[in-house]
Amino acid sequence: MATRRLKITLQYDGEPYCGWQFQANGPSLQQTVEEALEKMMGSGKVRLFAAGRTDAGVHAAALPAHFDTEHSIPAERLPLAMAPFLPASISILSAEEVGPEFDARRSAVLRWYRYQIVQASRRRPLGPRAWQVHHPLDFGAMERGLELLLGHHDFNGFRSSECQSNRSELTMQGASMTRVGDLIALDFKCRSFLHHMIRFMAGTLVAMGRGKIDEERFLKIRDRGERPYLIDCAPPHGLCLMAVAYSEAERQRILEANPAPPSF
């Protein structure tokens, strides 16, 4: 049979994994899903290419990925057929056959990540996946910070020292906050992101909300890359890849999406 390209959409709890990409120090999501596909199909090596490489502990509500195969299974049957081969922390939500030009990473026109924070003075073991912040937050200051992230900027001040991207200029198409009680959701919508960029943006906004930095210092981080030591990289368990767009219609739907938290 001729080679086919299949697009799958994955949902997973990232806490048990060392991230999407293969790692020597623990199980990766890529390895887990590839091995499950190989067992189900019983034919050769499978190589998955995802729309994004989530870090250790980061979740995904809908992560697209693609792979090539000569197996004849109808795409619509793949999610159910794969269920017995995957751990409870991973699910294939949907599958479809796509053309050879489709690339889960390069074809994407918009990615949406959500970071959740819960403002509470005591630990909540049964609470939602969120960064628990024990201090009062000035939400007006955080809103101003989000407004300053919108548009085209050099986001060098919001990436990790390990980031290997050759360019840090990006256009942030959406940056907003939604609150329900003591639960806060920060939404970031951009075509691509830098390593740890969202977690550093979330940490910077929380620092602004706590009064640790002001708008002037925020602009120095954004425009000059001057990130002070008191900015935390927000923990990974509060971050989730929500959706990826491949068409203008999908891009518009994602830009308009603003569900009440919790979302994951």
Q: Which residues contact 177 (CB under 8 A, 6 or more apart)?
A: 139, 142, 143, 146, 184, 185, 186, 187
Q: What is the mean pLDDT of the chain?
A: 94
Judgement on whether residues 154 and 228 belong to the same structural domain of the protein: yes
pLDDT(173) > 80? yes
What CATH number is attached to the domain comprising 18?
3.30.70.580
What CATH number is attached to the domain comprising 188?
3.30.70.660
Judgement on whether residues 20 and 53 belong to the same structural domain of the protein: yes
**Known catalytic membership, residue 154:** no
Residue 264 belongs to a domain: no
Q: Which of 55, 187, 214, 223 is catalytic?
A: 55
Residue 263 belongs to a domain: no
Q: Which residues contact 245 (CB under 8 A, 6 or more apart)?
A: 108, 109, 110, 111, 112, 251, 253, 254
pLDDT band (50, 70, 90) for residue 135: very high
DSSP the chain: ---EEEEEEEEE--TTSSBSS--TTS--HHHHHHHHHHHHHTSS----EES--PBTT-EEEEEEEEEEE-----GGGHHHHHGGGS-TTEEEEEEEEE-TT--TTTT--EEEEEEEEEE-SS--TTS-S-EEE-S---HHHHHHHHHHHSEEEE-GGGS-TT---S--EEEEEEEEEEEETTEEEEEEEES---TTHHHHHHHHHHHHHTTSS-HHHHHHHHHH----TT-----GGGEEEEEEE-SHHHHHHHHH--PPSP--
Position 165 scores a pLDDT of 81
pLDDT(227) > 90? no
pTM of the model: 0.95
Position 43 scores a pLDDT of 75
Number of domains in the chain: 2
pLDDT(87) > 80? yes
Domain limits for position 120: 113-241
What does the pLDDT average to over 63-83?
Answer: 96
Which residues make beta-bridge pairs with 185?
A: 116, 178
Position 199 scores a pLDDT of 97
What does the pLDDT average to over 45-53?
Answer: 95
Judgement on whether residues 206 and 232 belong to the same structural domain of the protein: yes
pLDDT(217) > 90? yes
Judgement on whether residues 165 and 50 belong to the same structural domain of the protein: no
Judgement on whether residues 179 and 94 belong to the same structural domain of the protein: no
pLDDT(166) > 90? no
Of 46, 63, 98, which marks where a domain is finished? Answer: 98
Written as one letter, the residue type at 190 is C
Q: What whole-number distance in Å separates Cα of residue 135 and Cα of residue 121? A: 7
Judgement on whether residues 77 and 171 belong to the same structural domain of the protein: no
